[in-house]
Structure 1
Amino acid sequence: MGTMGEPRARGRFGEYGGRYAPESLVEACREVEAAFREARADPGFRAALAELLALHAGRPTPLTPARRLSQALGVRLYLKREDLAHTGSHKINNVLGQALLAARMGRRRLIAETGAGQHGVATATAAALLGLEATVFMGERDIERQAPNVFRMRMLGAEVVPVTTGSRTLKDATSEAMRHWVGVTGDSHYCVGSVIGPDPYPWMVREFQRVIGDEARGQCAAELRTSVPDYVVACVGGGSNAAGTFAGFADTSARFVGVEAEGGAGAARGRLGVLHGCRSLFLQDDDGQIVEAHSIAPGLDYPGVGPEHAHLRDLGRARYLTVTDDEAVSAAVRLARTEGIVPALESAHALAWVIRAAGDGELPAGSTVLMTLSGRGDKDISTLKELV
């Protein structure tokens, strides 16, 4: 397998990936893989998706120079503005692709998990657009933290199912969504929101998010003195916005940096294990039990990382570093006050690393940095009000 190409047989990225699922879901995953391979080879499907991304999602999103912040940091920072995509984040890219695929397969309902609520909103949006039903599983704790997104999902016609088990966050919502899918595979498609889960999801989600990196690559060629940035940076929970961004620059000299929450650092501190249908790096105790993740950003509140990110780490192609809640909040405030942009707390983690690395010399002066701003901060206003 070439770097960020198709996975090897049985969905493997090196020693990671695979399809660890009950037999009923193994067959459902085979059907999804066959449908995806057929659809991506079909010019009609690609054209339909491109039209939706342009006319409904508002692509291409701009590449914005962060001029005042760049001057202060001594680097040239460019922001790939996924916060300006319809529904407020990168999630819509993947969901429109999977919703079109579901309709092509004859499925009438989308199932999804969500943490920050952005994937849930995107799923509800795509379902409404295409005349599908939507059921979204969301941890009870995240429902409390992300009330505006819960209202948006319900206004769009989706059923929001509170998950009251475990930590009541993204991990548990994912587990419940997969359990539910077991009994409804005949008429429902599980619209996984990140590069996690059983094969083909890590690969398929990355390919639907590749539009971020491909667009940014072309925009860099047009905007920068050199067509390839020195660093490509993105926040990582499961890792879909990072995977999509990195994919556009996989064959270049750009250095990849994935930024995780200090309390959810699957790539930085995880150990080999199996969760949610794939083999990857997860936070675990000495008995191999999954340890609860914590982050002020609900979308990073996941105890592992997608299998391709684990593989990129092992190859040395990408580095995975962490920042704290306080650093993320500080970065969000700084971007708001220097560039007039309030970022999602997830994206603020990536920015916090850029600020820290520029300050301590890890980013050489004059470096060109492309950072994916994966979402806008409207959903986090209640949290920020208590801290700023």
Structure 2
Amino acid sequence: MPTAVNASASENGYYGDYGGSFIPEILVPAFEEISKHFEEIRHDETFWQQYCALLTDYSGRPTPLTYAGRLTEHYGRAKIYIKREDLNHTGAHKLNNALGQALLAKRMGKTRIIAETGAGQHGVATATVAAKLGLSATIYMGREDMERQYSNVFWMRRLGAEVVAVDYGSQTLKDAINETLRDWVSSFETTHYVLGTASGAHPFPAMVAFFQSIIGIEAKEQIMRAVGRLPNKVYACVGGGSNALGVFQAFYPHDEVQLVGVEAGGQGKESGNHATRIAYGEGKMGVAQGYKTLFLQDNDGQMKDTYSIAAGLDYVGVSPILADLSERGRVRFAAATDLEVIDALELVMKMEGLIPALESTHAFAGAFQDIAESSKSDIYIINMSGRGDKDIFNIAEGLQDEEWRSFIHRKNKQFENQAR
């Protein structure tokens, strides 16, 4: 059972200069209730055992740590191991947090859960646990993200959740968060907000990191069994930061292990079309959505639109925990462009028979940027936070697959003919 997310966190949820709780007065009782119950379960071994048992029996944990032999041979450098969060039920790490928070909601006597989602994986996970535990669910998703990830919208609705399109702003994750908060203001007496990433007002960053810490706990035990020592580097993609914090935490005390977060470089720094807060040095400290962190802002403090080929990485802010760890030099940040991600995806598929999500492929691309500097005695762990089934439309577009394009045109004609 994890003991602390980050030893530098203060009681009011600050991590260095980042974090805190900037919330409307009407939500103070809701946050006080969550803080109280989270503090109880954080020290409750029985709750942790119940949580882990459900992850085992329902989600299929522990997920394996797979040795990527052909990738390792291809580069002739560091030995590459892949933490297989894609093998969780629903296909991503998101279920770890959704399940933990849903159990917390039931402990607090809530009958409804709400959530925001970008790539749709957190939405699917939330809809799934709602069905499993007998809760009603409403999921908010930006219209732009719905178009990119409609397969996940389909599954959320089939699982019984209401999916609400957000049609303002950039119609992506930050707007979905805003709309979910609006819902919660008027419904918190019966509703718990299952925030999907390690951001937002205290205690959400600590709580999400707590539930995701199972990833790193397993990975550390698995690499020790496999090779008898710790890795040299651990890689994870970073949108808000939940999967990165999940795999990083177990390695915090070991300074010899370099932790690398890979952000969405999009079309490159100079294009302005990216979601890179730290690696490109463009994030500015600000307060939004209940907490203080580094946001992509213009000179007037307005939040910029973000872009990534991966819908789950186009968030305008970053976890306050990661912002602090970056400032203290404990986590290094890199960026991977869309082109680097597509190249990495093709390589991983053809070399290892794995199809990582576009989000997760950023972590692979970041590791491949570094691997020429490694030696054969080095060990890399890459957190494959999700699988790419959901990305088939985006991947086919990125690969400019003409056969897929022809297939879509044929199916469209079939639907048009059936509608006549």
For the pair 1:371 / 2:382, whether they are aligned, the reply is yes
Contact 1:83 1:376 in 2 (8 A): yes
2:48 aligned partner, one-letter code: R
Distance 1:216 1:369 in 2: 12
Contact 1:267 1:282 in 2 (8 A): no
Structure 2 equivalent of residue 78 of structure 1: 81
Structure 2 equivalent of residue 105 of structure 1: 108
Contact 1:265 1:304 in 2 (8 A): no
Contact 1:280 1:307 in 2 (8 A): yes
For the pair 1:68 / 2:61, whether they are aligned, the reply is no
Structure 2 equivalent of residue 119 of structure 1: 122
Contact 2:8 2:16 in 1 (8 A): no
Structure 1 equivalent of residue 24 of structure 2: 22
Q: CA deviation at 1:168?
A: 0.4
Distance 2:315 2:136 in 1: 26
Q: CA deviation at 1:343?
A: 0.4
- With over 3 angstroms needed to count, the CA separation of the structure-2 counterparts of 1:85 and 1:301, relative to structure 1, is same
Q: CA deviation at 1:5?
A: 3.3
Query: CA-to-partner distance for each residue in 1:197-223, whole Å, 9 max, x for gaps?
Result: 000000010000000000001001100
Q: CA deviation at 1:101?
A: 0.1
Q: CA deviation at 1:2?
A: 8.0
Distance 2:28 2:204 in 1: 12
2:169 aligned partner, one-letter code: G
Query: CA-to-partner distance for each residue in 1:318-376, whole Å, 9 max, x for gaps?
Result: 111101011111111110000000000001001011112114x2x44542101100000
Q: CA deviation at 1:175?
A: 0.8
1:134 to 137, 140, 143: 137
Q: TM-score, normalised by structure 2?
A: 0.90
Structure 2 equivalent of residue 309 of structure 1: 322
Contact 2:5 2:206 in 1 (8 A): no
Structure 2 equivalent of residue 205 of structure 1: 208
For the pair 1:147 / 2:160, whether they are aligned, the reply is no
Distance 1:3 1:261 in 2: 24
Query: CA-to-partner distance for each residue in 1:152-194, whole Å, 9 max, x for gaps?
Result: 1011100000000100011100111111111101000000000
Contact 1:88 1:375 in 2 (8 A): yes
Structure 2 equivalent of residue 185 of structure 1: 188
1:67 aligned partner, one-letter code: G
Q: CA deviation at 1:381?
A: 0.6
Structure 2 equivalent of residue 320 of structure 1: 333
Contact 1:343 1:375 in 2 (8 A): yes
The alignment of Structure 1 onto Structure 2 pairs a total of residues equal to 385
2:370 aligned partner, one-letter code: A
Q: CA deviation at 1:286?
A: 0.9
2:33 to 31, 34, 51: 31
1:266 partner SS: coil
Distance 2:234 2:398 in 1: 29
Q: CA deviation at 1:27?
A: 2.3
Contact 1:111 1:177 in 2 (8 A): yes
- With over 3 angstroms needed to count, the CA separation of the structure-2 counterparts of 1:2 and 1:190, relative to structure 1, is closer
Structure 1 equivalent of residue 217 of structure 2: 214
1:8 aligned partner, one-letter code: S
Q: TM-score, normalised by structure 1?
A: 0.97
Distance 1:223 1:27 in 2: 47
Structure 2 equivalent of residue 382 of structure 1: 393
- With over 3 angstroms needed to count, the CA separation of the structure-2 counterparts of 1:53 and 1:2, relative to structure 1, is closer
Structure 1 equivalent of residue 351 of structure 2: 338
For the pair 1:356 / 2:369, whether they are aligned, the reply is yes
Which ranges of 4 or more aligned residues in structure 1 deviate by more than 4 Å? none
Distance 1:44 1:108 in 2: 22
What is the identity percentage for the equivalent residue pairs of Structure 1 and Structure 2? 49
- Which range is displaced more, 366-375 or 105-114? 366-375
Runs of 5+ unmatched residues, structure 2: 266-273, 400-420
Structure 1 equivalent of residue 413 of structure 2: none
1:189 partner SS: strand
Q: CA deviation at 1:60?
A: 0.1
Contact 2:5 2:210 in 1 (8 A): no
- With over 3 angstroms needed to count, the CA separation of the structure-2 counterparts of 1:335 and 1:195, relative to structure 1, is same
Distance 1:21 1:62 in 2: 40
1:116 aligned partner, one-letter code: A
